[in-house]
Amino acid sequence: MPKRKITDRFVRMVQPASRDVIFWDTHQGGLGLKVTPKGTKSFTVYYRYKGRLRWYHIDRYPAIGLAEARSIAKQVRARAALGQDPHGDKIASRKGETFTHLAEAYFAACKHKSAKQYRGHWERHLKPYLGSRKAVDLGTSEFVDVRNRLERKGKHGTVGPVLATASAIIGWGINEQRVRLSTNPVHGVKWEQRVTNNGRALSGKELIALWPVLDETAGPIWSPVFKLMLFTGQRHDEIRHMRWEHIEDDWWTQPTNKADRVHRVYLSQTARTILGNLSPDENGWVFPNTKGKPYAGIPTMIIQHVRKTSGIADFRPHMFRHTVTTELSRIGIDEKHASRVLNHAEGGVTKRYRHYDFDREKRQALISLERHLLEILSGTSSNDVSWNKG
Average pLDDT estimate for 109-129:
85
pLDDT for 205 equals: 92
The one-character DSSP state at 243 is B
Interhelix angle for 140-152 vs 156-175, to 10°? Answer: 160
Superfamily of domain 3-95: Integrase, DNA-binding domain (3.30.160.390)
Mean pLDDT, rounded, for 357-386: 83
pLDDT computed for residue 99 by the predictor: 92
Region label for 110, one of left (φ > 0), alpha (ψ between -120 and 50) or beta (otherwise):
beta
What does the pLDDT read at residue 354? 67
The H or E element spanning position 61 is strand 52-61
The SS3 call for residue 38 is coil
User: Which pLDDT score is estimated for 113?
Assistant: 66
- Give the model's pLDDT for residue 276: 92
Nearest Cα to Cα of residue 177 among 76, 52, 88: 88
Residue 61 has pLDDT above 60, yes or no: yes
Per-residue pLDDT reduced to its tens digit, 273-292: 999 999 888 889 999 988 88
Evaluate if residue 248 carries a pLDDT over 90.
Answer: yes
Per-residue pLDDT averaged across 98-103, rounded? 90
Mean pLDDT of 304-327: 93
Candidate from 165-179, 180-194, 221-235, 241-255 with smallest mean pLDDT: 180-194
**Is residue 213 very low, low, confident or very high in pLDDT (cuts 50, 70, 90)?**
confident
Given a cut of 80, is residue 198 above it in pLDDT? Answer: no
In the chain, where are the structural domains located? Answer: 3-95, 99-188, 204-378
Q: Specify whether the CB–CB gap between 264 and 357 falls below 8 A.
A: yes
- pLDDT > 90: percent of the chain: 58
Q: Given this model, what pLDDT does residue 389 score?
A: 33
Fold of the domain spanning 204-378? hpI Integrase; Chain A (1.10.443)
Q: Please name the fold of domain 99-188.
A: DNA polymerase; domain 1 (1.10.150)
The reply to whether 99-188 shares the fold of 3-95 is no
The angle formed by the CA atoms of residues 34, 37 and 40, to the nearest 5 degrees, is: 50
pLDDT in tens, 45-55: 999 988 889 99
- pLDDT of 105 strictly over 90: no
Least confidently predicted of 112-116, 198-202, 241-245, 280-284: 112-116
Q: What is the mean pLDDT of residues 179-203?
A: 78
* Statement: residue 32 has pLDDT above 80: yes
Q: Which pLDDT belongs to residue 384?
A: 44
